[in-house]
Structures are given as C-alpha cells and as structure tokens.
Amino acid sequence: MTGHILSKSTYMRGLKCHKSLYLNKYGKELRDETSDSQQYIFDQGTEIGELAANLFPHGIDLTPDSVFDYTESIRRTQELISRKERVIYEAAFLQEGVLCAIDILVYDGKNYRAYEVKGSTSVSDTYIQDASLQYYLITKSGVKLMDISIVHINNEYVKKGDLDINQLFTIQSVLTEVLNEQKNIPNNIAEFKKVLEKKNNPPTIDIGAHCNSPYSCDFLGHCWKHIPENSIFDLSGLRSEKKFALYNNGIITFNQITKEAEESFLNDKQKMQVFAELEQRTYLDGENIRSFINELQFPLYFLDFETMMPAIPLYDDSRPFQQIVFQYSLHILKSKGSTPEHDEFLAEPDKGDPRRPFIEKLIKDCGNSGDILVYNIGFEKGRLNELAEDFPEYSVSINKIIARLKDLMIPFFKRWYYTPEMKGSYSIKSVLPALVPDMSYSDLEIQEGGTASATFTEMARGTFKGDVAKTRRALIEYCTLDTLAMVKIYQKLKEI
C-alpha cells in the first residue's frame, strides 16, 4: 500500500467540506450510488485523458495496476526523472503524506512542464486548486516545474475529416494562479490531516450551498435525509441563498413559513405553490386554457427530440459538446377526436452522422400544415435552427417546421393549470403524473433523457456493451412515451 494520508481527490474534498473528507474515510457506505449518466461522464473523462496524451506522444505510462497502491508508480517516477525521460503519463509523487499523479509530465531537455487534462471547456477555480496541490507536491519532490497547464476541450473546434487533437484541445497555463495559491497549501494539508485523525469526532457541518456548489457532493442522501418532501428546497425558482436563509431561520416545511418570511422571500408563483400544497388546492384558468386549445390548427403534431452531446465530436461539421439529434417521436391527431397515429426516427448508430436522415424523415413526417406541439419550445427550436445552419440545403423546409411550432408547456408555465402534485415544476415529468396519473415512466428501462443520450453515444462510439436490439427498443419506448404523454396532456386540457 502507498501509505498516504491524503490524495489529490481527498484534498479537494477537504476544500469543499470537512464532513465529506471525513465520511469518505469513515462512512464510505453512506455515499450515494453513481448514476448511469455520472458514470458516462467519468468514462468520457478517461477517454479524453487518453486522447490528450497523444499531444505528447511516446511517453511512459505509470498508471498503477490498482488505484489503492501507487508505490511502484512513485518509485518509477523518480527513476524516470533521474534518467531524464521526456514524457511520463501519470507520474506519481508522495510528499508529506499526500499523494498525487499528474496526467502528463514533459521534460524538454532543460525544463519540466506539467499538464492536467480536464473534460470541460474552460478552467474553473476547482481546477486551479487541483493543479496548485500538484505543483506543490511535484516541486517538493525536487522537480523544478517551469510551467503547469490545464488541457481542456476547445468548443470552437469544428471537426473536418480526421480528428485534429491539436485543435480539439486548448492548453492554458495556470502557473500564476497556482503560485498565488501555494501559501495556503501547507495549512490546508495540516487541517485536513487533523480531520482524519479524529475518527470518533466527525465534523459537525450542516447542509449548505457548498453541498451543490461548485459540484454536487456524493453524500447528499446521507446529509439531507432530515429534509422532508415538499420542503422549502422544493420551492421552484427560489435562489439557493434564499432557501438557506429560510433554513437557517428554522423554516424547513411549507407550514413553517411565516407571513413575514413569505412576503420577504417568495414571489407570486412560489406563494401559489405553498398555498396549493397546504390547502391541496388546484388552480385553473379555464378561459386562457380554452383560447390556447381553440387556437391550435389541425392536423396536430406532437414532437419530441432526443440528442447526444459527445465531448469528442463524432461527425464532420460538428463541435465538441454540440447537441446532435439522433431520435424523434411524433404523434399525429389528424382531426378533432381522431385516434393518434405515430411516426418515429431512431438513427442507426453504426451508419454515421444521424442528422441528415433525421432531417429528411422529419420533413416528410411533418407534412405541410397544422401546428406542431413540443414541450419546452426552446429545445426543439434551438436544435432545428442549428440543423438549418449546418445543413443549409434543408433550411427552407426546416424553417417552415419552426414556424409551425407551438409550446404545450405554456398553460403550465403560466400557471393556467396548477395542482399540488406538480410541486412547483412545469416539466413534463411533473405535469404528467398530475394530469394523467395512470401513465408513468417508472416501468421503462430508460426513464430519462440523460440515460437515452449516454446510451446512444456509447452505441455510436462502438463502446456499448449491452444488447443493442433490446436497448434500441427501450429508446423507442422512452421517446414514444414522451409524445404520447403530450397527447394525453392535450386531451386533458381539452376536457377542462
């Protein structure tokens, strides 16, 4: 075993919250489960790291066989440095009981430069802190670093032909910020070691804005278990500072909200949410709902897109993290009272860029007249505008589709219809169970867009390990339910 007390990741936990640092050592079993979409982000990060290594090729990789034992990596790092090896991946350093490994360490014959790879598109404060600890440990080990940089994704890169990793990545020196941070590191290390020494004395830290900022903690389930459903943290659109101002005044549930707190903290929509919940009251603005429904032009289309956002662009004329459409579901009501018909598109993941076949089928399926209802118009409209720009040969037809879009979210967003079951939200996942309680996503294999997106990306990259045919059926079922839900919501509004 390496025998370290802290690692780079536990040091980062300590900076975020002493309790997270403590629980990570003494309460591992309390950690939240990793979701599929989080796992996808981790896997994507690993892949980006491997790709970025090619910026400095022919290095020696010191990744250990087990993440629990860096002894050999540390020894080999010193050995390779003493023989002036040019490029080392995962060079490991242990100083003052703190362990770190740097993604890429480069020696140019005179000077050393260190590079840490991140899968995002900019440099955050967290990355600076992370690089600062690495700089501290590497220089303490006797390696004089000329520079330290973050290698991150350049979201302006447009893929044309083979992937150009020199364009895909941006190398940004953070040396100045890292040097400024050096004076704080010894104190931080000493403080975090003290936290870990006190096994029987867990830090008494209450929940706060730090739990979700700058990223979500993985002990939320444990630390937030005293917060019941329908608490002030479920107040839609209320800023985090206001929620914690209420919480710190002993207000957690809706019935604890005083008149004074209501007036100082809540807007009209939030007051409505509280009142509807406490009185179990439904709000209905029949007149506005009626005119919304009566203005709709038949045939009525109910449309929903699924997209993926690969960090490393898969197709020509696409950028990192660009939303790429790969699936839609379309229900059609030809006339009032007719039975809904269904069309759909799901790309073949191994047949290349899905956008062109997606557009061609969509244009055909949408016909020439009638309103096209979507739920949250900004999303579908945004994707259609991008498609019109990236494939100008279809722009006339795409713009005709855009002109026919209507937003089924309006009656809920404007609170023309509100029930306590919506819990302040107007998302389709909240509106559906409130209006159509017998319809639910809970029986589906794929239950939310993040999983659909991660699944299709893996299929398109050729890294998917599951049953492709079965998963394709699950993707179709999920997207179909989205537009069927819209049909049911429309029918419910009509009844009202």
Distance set, CA 301 to CA 112, 341, 343, 439, 478 (Å): 61, 10, 10, 20, 18
Q: Which is nearer to ligand SF4, 244 or 315 (CB)?
A: 244
Closest CB to ligand SF4 among residues 150, 196: 196
Q: Residues, the chain, total?
A: 496
Provide the mask over 44-63, with x wherever binding to ligand SF4 is found by CB under 6 A and - wherever it is not. Answer: --------------------
Among residues 206, 259, 251, 210, the alpha carbon closest in space to that of 232 is found at 251
Indicate whether 168 belongs to the interface with ligand SF4 (CB under 6 A).
Answer: no
Using the contact rule CB under 6 A, the part of the chain among 12-20, 111-119, 166-174, 387-395 near ligand SF4 is 12-20
Among 4, 19, 118, 152, binds ligand SF4 (CB under 6 A): 19
Residue closer to ligand SF4 (CB basis): 221 or 382: 221
Q: By CB under 6 A, name the one of 4, 6, 15, 23 that touches ligand SF4.
A: 23
For residue 171, give every residue at least 6 positions away whose Cβ sits within 8 Å of its Cβ, in sequence order, or none.
Answer: 55, 115, 149, 150, 151
Nearer to ligand SF4, 22 or 115 (CB): 22
Strands 87-95 and 60-61: parallel
Q: Min. distance of Cβ 384 from ligand SF4 in angstroms? A: 40
- Minimum distance from residue 195 beta carbon to ligand SF4 (Å): 12
* CA–CA dist 452, 448 (Å, integer): 7
Beta bridge partner(s), residue 93: 100
Measured CA to CA, the distance from residue 328 to residue 363 in angstroms comes to: 12
- In the list 7, 10, 20, 73, the residue contacting ligand SF4 (rule: CB under 6 A) is 20
Identify which of residues 229 and 350 has a Cβ nearer to ligand SF4 in the complex: 229
- The token duo for 161 is 């032909």
Using a 10 angstrom Cβ sphere, with 0-12 exposed, 13-18 middle and 19 or more buried, the burial of residue 158 is middle
Stretch that binds ligand SF4, among 17-25, 73-81, 110-118, 253-261 (CB under 6 A): 17-25
Q: Which is nearer to ligand SF4, 20 or 307 (CB)?
A: 20
In the complex with ligand SF4, the residue whose CB is nearer, 32 or 69, is 32
Give the interface size with ligand SF4 as a residue count (CB under 6 A): 13
Q: Of 115, 121, 181, which is closest to residue 145 (Cα–Cα)?
A: 115
The token pair that represents 292 in the structure block: 């919304």
| Touching ligand SF4, residues 186-245 (CB under 6 A) | 205, 207, 210-211, 217, 219-220, 223
Dist CA 363 CA 6 (whole Å):
57
Q: How far is the CB of 13 from ligand SF4 (least distance, A)?
A: 8
User: Using an 8 Å Cβ cutoff, are 84 and 116 in contact?
Assistant: no
**Is the CB of 213 or the CB of 267 nearer to ligand SF4?**
213
Q: What is the 3-state secondary structure (H, E, C) of 129-180?
A: HHHHHHHHHHHHCCCCEEEEEEEEECCCCCCCCCCCHHHHEEEEECHHHHHH
231 strand-pairing partners? 253
- Mapping DSSP to helix (H, G, I), strand (E, B) and coil, where does residue 335 land? coil
CB 36 to ligand SF4: min, Å: 21
CB of 129 to ligand SF4, least distance (A): 16
Judged by DSSP in three states, 304 sits in strand
Residue 210 or residue 473: which is nearer to ligand SF4 going by CB? Answer: 210
Q: How far is the CB of 126 from ligand SF4 (least distance, A)?
A: 14
| Residue 185: CB minimum distance to ligand SF4, A | 21
Collapsing DSSP to helix, strand or coil, 296 comes out as coil
d(CA 133, CA 186): 10
The window from 18-26, 148-156, 342-350, 410-418 that contacts ligand SF4 (CB under 6 A) reads: 18-26
Binding site for ligand SF4 (CB under 6 A): 16-17, 19-20, 23, 205, 207, 210-211, 217, 219-220, 223
